[in-house]
A = this chain, B = another copy of it.
Amino acid sequence: MDQKSKNRYEAQAAVIKALAHPSRLMMLEELNNGKKNVTELTKMVGADTSTVSKHLNVLKNAGLVFVEKEGTTVFYQLRMPCLMDFISCIESVMEANAFEHMETVISCKTKTK
């Protein structure tokens, strides 16, 4: 594995890591419906404002959102056109998992009959 490839995987992982948090996913999906300010996102997430602010900073650093200031309020906007495809992919994995789990349960029931 050459260094160039390693760097690429690290860069990919860095972006994915920014996506790997329930609150951040929640906010991104919300931003898919249009820009929102920190106060609105804070209410939605239900955490401390400072916590939400830091989450948004993580998203910004990963390049997943961009920022627009209007006076004292800060609006965040989605900058990831493929978000819903991304989520769909994850959901498909989850569905497959659920299906397999179901299969396992059925198979156990059958065997113990």
Contacts and interface: CB of A to CB of B under 8 A. Distances in A.
A18 to B, nearest CB: 8
Interface in A34-81: 44-46, 62-64, 79-81
Contact of A63 (B10, B85, B94): B94
Interface residues of A, number: 42
B79 A15 contact: no
Number of copies: 2
Contacts of A108: none
B25 A21 contact: no
Contacts of A79: 93, 96
A84 to B, nearest CB: 10
Contacts of A16: 16, 19-20, 25, 90
A104 interface: no
Interface of A: 1, 5-6, 9-13, 15-17, 19-26, 44-46, 62-64, 79-82, 85-94, 96-97, 100
